[in-house]
Amino acid sequence: MYTAEVSRSNPALFVFLVDQSLSMSDMMADPDTAQPKKDFVADAINRLLSDLSIRCAKEDGIRDYFHVALIGYGREINPAFGGALAGKGVVPIGEVATNPARIEDRSKKVPDGAGGLVEMKIKFPVWLDPVSDGGTPMSRALTLARSIVAAWLDEHPGCFPPVVLNLTDGEPTDGDPAGPARAIRELASTDGNVLLFNLHVSSNPGPAVKFPDSDAALPNQHAKALFSMSSVLPPIMLAYTRQLGYAVTEDSRSFVFNGGAEDIVKFIDIGTRPDLR
């Protein structure tokens, strides 16, 4: 299982659920990251969308190996792409690549070849803007994700199982999300069940729990609930997680609690690593 070829004729689907509640305006707990949570998460997803575009770029253009849905949930639950893609649900990566809402000038520190760092100007495409308003309607967001995935599977029954990545900082304000999460995980292609990843981003200092295989080290019921909602990492992603230096077992879940800046970036990277052929 989880070995289906990813190609233009058999693309993979990623659904990003982004918590846009008011508390996402709080600062990241990571002292090296002087950004509100909403800004860092938006930057991480924008960087990922750019990386996906590059991974799919060939001599004849950008091949639609991946399709992406981007849903924000806070005061409202809506597609979160900006610009020409505003209001769109599932979008092929080629269309994503050619339609950022804007391109910003950013600075990036790079090695200078002499052991130091220098700042270099880069172009940074933006599809998702940071938002923080309202509560945390996670259950409804997961229900919407299930409907998106179910429709995709009707059209792509043999695909690499879709991956839903939920990035949140708070407890749901619209009831228990366990049922909607289970409904997502019960969907399946012929290659395996749909994967649900959950990342908890905190503004409170404390140790991160990364891809655990039990809930023993988790500090509260909310963390344990997110753990139980998360899929077991399939072999292809488990191997890549090990390559990134995480201590994982065959029972490790696709879950990070109290994730810092580096964990957020790696979490998204791991969740978007089905094989390309």
Cβ within 8 Å of residue 274, ≥6 positions away: 2, 4, 6, 12, 160, 163, 236
Q: What pLDDT digit, counting tens, does each position of 52-103 carry?
A: 999 999 988 999 999 999 999 999 999 999 999 999 999 999 999 999 999 9
Q: CA angle, 178 as apex, 177 and 180 as ends, to 5°?
A: 65
Cα-flanking dihedrals φ and ψ of residue 263, to 5°? -65, -40
Token pair 């409804």 is found at 140
Task: Give the pLDDT of residue 277.
Answer: 56
Please report, as a single letter, which amino acid is at residue 6: V
Kindly give the confidence (pLDDT) of every residue in the chain, 277 residues in length, as a single tens digit, with 9 standing for 90 and above. Answer: 899 999 999 999 999 999 999 999 998 877 667 789 999 999 999 999 999 999 999 988 999 999 999 999 999 999 999 999 999 999 999 999 999 999 998 777 667 677 777 777 888 999 999 999 999 999 999 999 999 999 999 999 999 999 999 999 878 999 999 999 999 999 999 999 999 999 998 877 778 899 999 999 898 899 999 999 999 999 999 999 999 999 999 999 999 998 877 888 899 999 988 876 5
Give the model confidence (pLDDT) of 237-248 as tens digits.
Answer: 999 999 999 999
How far is residue 55's CA from residue 41's CA, in Å, rounded to a whole number?
Answer: 21
- The C-alpha atoms of residue 200 and residue 114 are separated, in whole angstroms, by 38
> Which pLDDT score is estimated for 112?
64
Q: Which residues contact 54 (CB under 8 A, 6 or more apart)?
A: none
In 10 A of CB 88, how many CB atoms? 15
Q: Report in angstroms the alpha-carbon separations of 150 from 143, 175, 242.
A: 11, 22, 31
Torsion angle of alpha carbons 130, 200, 194, 156, nearest 10°? 10
pTM score = 0.92
Cα angle 156, 162, 164; round to 5: 145
The tokens of 139 are what? 């259950």
Return the structure tokens found at 78: 């809506």
**Encoding tokens for residue 131?**
């938002």
Enter the tokens of residue 218.
């988790």
Domains, the chain = 12-108+116-271 (3.40.50.410)
